[in-house]
Amino acid sequence: MTKEIDPATVTDGFHLVVDALKLNGIDTIYGVAGIPITDLARLAHAEGLKYIGFRHEQAAGNAAAIAGYLTQKPGICLTVSAPGFLNGMLALANATTNCFPMILISGSSNRAIVDLEQGDYEELDQLNAARPYAKAAYRVNNPEDIGTGIARAIHAALSGRPGGVYLDLTADVLSAVIERQAAANSLVKVIDPAPRQIPAPESITRALDLLAEAQRPLIILGKGAAYAQADAAIRGFIETTGIPFLPMSMAKGLLPDNHPQSAASARSLAIGQADVVMLIGARLNWLLSHGKGKTWSPSTRFVQVDISPTEIDSNRPIAAPVIGDIASVMAAFAAALKPGRIKPNTAWVDALSATKQKNAERMAQRLNADPSPMNFSSALRAVRNALANRPDVYIVNEGANTLDFARNIIDMYQPRQRLDSGTWGIMGVGMGYAIAAAVVSGKPVVAIEGDSAFGFSGMEIETICRYRLPVITLVFNNNGIYRGDTDGKSPSPTGFVTNARYDKLIEAFGGAGYHVTDTPSLTKALSDALEAAKPALINVVIDPSAGTESGHIQNLNPKRAVAH
Ligand code: ADP
Ligand code: TZD
Ligand code: MG
């Protein structure tokens, strides 16, 4: 017996998902269409949501994750079942690792068949596959639960330490019919999904007491501080106290890199000699040598500002933990701070300045050399010159040498405009991050990519061309992973086709390709491309012998115990 469907009185799961997203201020979906979510993408598009269709779910997921980081709203990635879902999972895991809020929504096959492993089309127990890599994972089994499922996913993604949430929508739920009134009643508009977490007053006093005792204090800003969008309060605290600061890579620009208190070019001295280090939204993970080893002093004491209480004491004992959201914490510090009570020792500030000066001169020398073919320093000088008057530009950066050199050479002047390989040192985020940065901000994006790094998401240049995004991709082409050398048995494990013309790839899709072999042409190509603000790819020919194995983290490579 088939029931009569009257669109005036009933709706379905597809419509409910779109309604629930819209009700909660979600305006963009990044995805790849197919069974069973094609109509969800179509409907979202028709109903005024921005739908950005990708060539691979991993890139769509990376786009959603970085959109979440930039906007403090969960980025949405939409995929098909099993393989599409798994392609998106890498991005979800990366988002969780980096504390970016995102929601991966995947359609799934028939539960009854999947659970009995009867071999359904794209069969996979997606909910359980997602769990270990997600901050939270939910499945919606009834159409009247769609509103609740999306509300819970938003709360989980945004509250506390942000992360990646998986939301499983079965094909049955999407096509299920539900009375309009019941559907409307089932929607949930989330209230305050990222509630302020006010720090305990005694934690503020404890931290300020410790900082007041310090002779050689240092503040380390992480991407949690950038995410928090408490830019003025953070800058105010740093400038009022006069404490030198060090930005982690994605916190560059939170205060401008040319700020007089930046200790970035005296990093080793700052870390090695500081007596009190205040971490603001930065973990003491591998990127800070776990706070241990010869780079750190064993007597350094720590203040750590973080929203996650379990982060405390994870690597080094923390003398003054301050648990709260960074905006509330910085407001509490500002209220409690007595003028002149915290003051770094003059000798400390002078020592850092002297080292900065010395290192800046060394860096200038390296940058001024003009070898042919170009090396990383000379090419990045050319890039820096083209970017000199464009503080509006977003920078995406991945690779090994390309990442390490660009992080040091390309200064940032505004918050949240540097997006890179992050906590995992992951390759493949480039085009997804670039697309989302352009979509979210409407600003030009320059993606500085190693040739290997680019390859992981390179097909998305079609997406960039299709949506006519102002993304300019620089492929630092040294013929391979780390460098273009061979081991005599070509092709070597790390080498690529030599002298590849990546610029021709984008021409296939109507974008502008440039091939440059010297610094003046690189500056000109990038300036022209920025002026045009259209999709472009610049093939930057770098000396194949210029890179070093693993860039600056060669120490992490296990050593062969036996040579042959
Ligand atoms: P980086 O890689 O830049 O050093 P991490 O990703 O290691 O930064 O650290 C980010 C930290 O920021 C995480 O420990 C996370 O819990 C914290 N965090 C994220 N958002 C906030 C916030 N709004 N308030 C406080 N801490 C936050
Ligand atoms: N796969 C993934 C997903 N992430 C990784 N980090 C790696 C592999 C290993 N890897 C690095 O850590 S850097 C890198 C790889 C493959 C590429 C380095 O080559 P590149 O950069 O061309 O991008 P340079 O400038 O040649 O060093
Ligand atoms: Mg390379």
3-state secondary structure of 348: helix
CA of 557 to the centre of ligand 2 (A): 13
Which CATH homologous superfamily contains domain 369-552?
Answer: Thiamin diphosphate (ThDP)-binding fold, Pyr/PP domains (3.40.50.970)
Q: Which protein residue's CA is at the shortest distance from atom 9 of ligand 2?
A: 427
User: Is residue 402 in contact with ligand 2, taking CB distance under 6 Å?
Assistant: yes
What DSSP character marks residue 198?
Answer: P
Ligand 1 atom index nearest CA of 227: 20
**Structure tokens belonging to residue 231:** 């830019």
Distance CA 223, CA 252 (A): 9
Which pLDDT score, from 0 to 100, does residue 122 have? 95
Ligand nearest to the CA of 493: 2
Q: What is the pLDDT of residues 178-223, one digit of tens each?
A: 999 999 999 999 999 999 999 999 999 999 999 999 999 999 999 9
pLDDT at 1 over 60: no
Q: For the whole model, what pTM was predicted?
A: 0.97
Rounding to the nearest 10 degrees, give the CA dihedral for residues 347, 349, 354, 355: 110
Question: What Rg, from alpha-carbon coordinates, does the chain have?
Answer: 25
CA of 3 to the centre of ligand 1 (A): 52
Ordered strands of the 217-221 beta sheet: 245-247, 217-221, 276-280, 301-306, 320-323
Neighbours of 79 (CB within 10 A): 30
Q: What is the pLDDT of residues 271-317, one digit of tens each?
A: 999 999 999 999 999 999 999 999 999 999 999 999 999 999 999 99
Q: What is the pLDDT of residues 159-177, one digit of tens each?
A: 999 999 999 999 999 999 9
Q: Which protein residue's CA is at the shortest distance from atom 11 of ligand 1?
A: 281
Distance CA 90, CA 62 (A): 9
User: Is residue 199 in contact with ligand 1, taking CB distance under 6 Å?
Assistant: no
Is 10-186's fold the same as 201-353's? yes
How many Å from the N-terminal Cα to the C-terminal Cα in the chain?
74
Q: What is the pLDDT of residues 78-123, one digit of tens each?
A: 999 999 999 999 999 999 999 999 999 999 999 999 999 999 999 9
Q: What is the pLDDT of residues 7-62, one digit of tens each?
A: 889 999 999 999 999 999 999 999 999 999 999 999 999 999 999 999 999 999 99
What DSSP character marks residue 428?
Answer: S
User: Is residue 427 in contact with ligand 2, taking CB distance under 6 Å?
Assistant: yes
Q: Which protein residue's CA is at the shortest distance from atom 24 of ligand 1?
A: 325
Ligand 2 atom index nearest CA of 484: 26
- Cβ proximity of 344 and 218 under 8 Å: no
Distance CA 300, CA 292 (A): 10
- Percent of residues in the chain assigned helix, strand, coil, to nearest 5: 45, 15, 35
User: Is residue 477 in contact with ligand 2, taking CB distance under 6 Å?
Assistant: no
User: Is residue 107 in contact with ligand 2, taking CB distance under 6 Å?
Assistant: no
3-state secondary structure of 13: helix
The residue among 532, 527, 535 whose CA lies nearest residue 507 is 535
User: Is residue 403 in contact with ligand 2, taking CB distance under 6 Å?
Assistant: no
- Domain limits, the chain: 10-186, 201-353, 369-552
Distance CA 96, CA 90 (A): 10
Torsion sign (Cα): 170, 176, 182, 184: positive
Ligand nearest to the CA of 547: 2
Distance CA 386, CA 113 (A): 57
Which pLDDT score, from 0 to 100, does residue 113 have? 95
CA of 171 to the centre of ligand 2 (A): 38
Which residue's structure tokens are 């309009």?
A: 180
The residue among 165, 145, 150 whose CA lies nearest residue 22 is 150
User: Is residue 476 in contact with ligand 2, taking CB distance under 6 Å?
Assistant: yes
User: Is residue 547 in contact with ligand 2, taking CB distance under 6 Å?
Assistant: yes
Q: Which protein residue's CA is at the shortest distance from atom 3 of ligand 1?
A: 222
Which pLDDT score, from 0 to 100, does residue 2 have? 55
User: Is residue 61 in contact with ligand 2, taking CB distance under 6 Å?
Assistant: no
Ligand 1 atom index nearest CA of 306: 26
Which pLDDT score, from 0 to 100, does residue 3 have? 60
Which pLDDT score, from 0 to 100, does residue 319 have? 98
User: Is residue 398 in contact with ligand 1, taking CB distance under 6 Å?
Assistant: no
Domain 10-186 class, CATH top level: alpha beta
CA of 397 to the centre of ligand 1 (A): 20
**What value, to the nearest 5°, has the Cα angle with vertex 37 and ends 34 and 43?**
115
Q: Which protein residue's CA is at the shortest distance from atom 7 of ligand 2?
A: 427
* CATH for 201-353, options being 3.40.50.1220, 3.40.225.10, 3.40.50.300, 3.40.50.720: 3.40.50.1220
Neighbours of 84 (CB within 10 A): 25
Distance CA 536, CA 225 (A): 32
The residue among 35, 67, 281 whose CA lies nearest residue 157 is 67
Distance CA 231, CA 227 (A): 9
CA of 431 to the centre of ligand 2 (A): 15
